[in-house]
Amino acid sequence: MRPVLILTHAPHEGPGLIAPVLDAPVRVRTVVSSQDPVLPGLDEVSGVVVMGGAMDADDDRYPGLVAEKRLLAEAVAADVPVLGVCLGMQLLALALGSELQRRHGTEIGFAPVDVVGDDPVLGQLGERPSVLHWHNDAVTLPSGATLLASTATTPVQAFRAGSALGVQFHPELEPRMLDLWLTTPEMVDELADDEIEAIRADGAKYLPDLAPAARAMVDGFAEQVRARG
């Protein structure tokens, strides 16, 4: 089976529970600062996963993002399974012609998201799951894409565009990853101590139910990956 390409943008924002659920070989790359990154051809991979990061999706200080967006556009055109998470969703949206709305609205912490579309992969999370949000940028819905989830602050929380699924929130989260985030200065420098503790407490409350649903969601994506082989 061909490997799944996983693109990351920060050491603490890895694939979390996604990689083991894929049950496939994975190839993790970080090319965000590369001027001319060498990425595998789409005929070499069975799927593409793009994770989160603190940078803006259109920030030209990170030239590797241009190559990521080009790869994502090509993957959708070639019907290659794609999963974009947080920054990964924004890169996917921009690759498909959307606009980035910088500082549109801050969402940090666990809160419900309304699942508004019928999708066999995202639908595994349920109708109104409480998920971890950690962003302040948003995107417009790509032309021809189907809106799948929304909040009052961020109208486009998830969408489907052919073979690609983008989610603004963080289904990859595991307790150890949450602990890492809450002790990483880059993540929490602008949060007060009580905000950090509230996220920690909410993680203990919501992750026991969310993680199995997230694994089921990722397994739905994995089925698409296995079908490509």
The tens digit of pLDDT for each residue in 168-216 reads: 999 999 999 999 999 999 999 999 999 999 999 999 999 999 999 999 9
Contact between 4 and 49 under an 8 Å Cβ cutoff? The reply is yes
147 pLDDT tier (thresholds 50, 70, 90): very high
CB atoms within 10 A of CB 183: 11
The structure tokens 């090319």 sit at: 31
Q: Helix axis angle, 64-77 relative to 87-95, nearest 10°?
A: 60
Domains located in the chain, CATH noted? 4-228 (3.40.50.880)
pLDDT of residue 88: 98
- Per-residue pLDDT tens for 63-106? 999 999 999 999 999 999 999 999 999 999 999 999 999 999 99
pTM to 2 decimals? 0.97
Q: Looking at residues 214-227, what average pLDDT do you find?
A: 97
- Residues acting as catalytic residues: 86, 170, 172
- Per-residue pLDDT tens for 12-37? 999 999 999 998 999 999 999 999 89
Q: What letter does residue 141 receive in the DSSP assignment? A: P
pLDDT of residue 117: 84
